[in-house]
Copies of this chain bind each other. A is one copy, B any other.
Amino acid sequence: MTAGSRSEPIEAESSLSHPPVERLAIVGLGLIGSSVGLACRARGLTTEIRGADIVPDHRAHAVELGVVDLAFADTAAAIEGADMVLLAVPVGSMIPLLEQIVPHLAPGAVVTDVGSVKGVVAAAMERLLPSGNGVPGHPIAGRETSGPRAASADLFSGAKCILTPTHHTDVRATARVRGLWRAVGAEVLQMRPECHDEIFAAISHLPHIVAYALMGAILDLEGGENLQALAGGGLRDFSRVAMSHPVMWRDICLTNRAPILKMIGRFQGVLSDLAAMISAGDGEGLERQFARVRACREDLGNGNERSDSGHPG
């Protein structure tokens, strides 16, 4: 569970000899924010956890379930005196939220986030946190369900968490955030924000948008809703992906436009090629394309059966 059990060099390892965080503030008590709270409490990583959420039910459930010690509607009150602030709101709300909290941060407080797009967050942190205490992050975990009631102390066990510090980020701040994620069971990777956004446009944003488009095309058919009752597992997998939160996906689309549009273009090209083969009756070409994909999926294996379609993995 501790970072010390890993073989790569660890910075600021001493921060793990005592709780890595004294007072943690979690802004946004949805599935991810609440799971971080539960995971920290279960492992004794924090002295106190305060939460903020604009939804009264989220606040009530989070206190009830022991996600946080105290929950506030007022973000400034929640982050008062916190030495680490975790922002767990949809990506589109991240920058206004950062602007709002900066005047209220305790001196030296580290700010991190869990957004699915990192370029815009990294740029905003550079601009708004000149001390370098902003560490952009993205845990690859989630469920179809949302809110504090869906949270789990083990959501991040064995999951990956990507941090995207820039040359401007303080290395001690990065080390503290890394220590927190490792302590809740995640494997922490580090890459440049632009690199993260290109990769996730391909492996997460494109699949979700394609799933929405596919389900949309079927719903457009006469009696489309009823057709699904005849569907097998294939369509059910797609429709599960399309269950993800509309606001979260709207924000992802709007904050990672260029990489997403590039991947949609590439995908449309491959699909048009398949359509041309179908139209021309090119069985050999179709079989070759299908076999290639299958071979690669066999390489991927089934190591991690975690379902995270609810959160942008």
Contact = CB atoms under 8 A, between A and B. Distances in A.
Interface in A260-305: 260-261, 263-272, 274-275, 277-279, 281, 283, 286-287, 289-294, 296-300, 304-305
Contacts of A240: 237, 297
A271 B210 contact: yes
A256 B187 CA distance: 46
Contact of A278 (B241, B242, B257, B297): B257
Given A219-B296, A234-B207, A290-B250, A267 B213 contact: yes
A270 B210 CA distance: 9
B278 A214 contact: no
A140 interface: yes
A28 to B, nearest CB: 18
Contacts of A250: 283, 286-287, 290
Contacts of A293: 212, 215-216, 219, 239, 242
Interface residues of A, number: 98
A207 B261 CA distance: 21
Contacts of A176: none
B204 A234 contact: yes
Interface stretch (A6-14, A149-157, A221-229): A221-229
A206 B289 CA distance: 15
A202 interface: yes
Contacts of A219: 292-293, 296
A308 interface: yes
A242 B237 CA distance: 11
A286 B202 contact: no
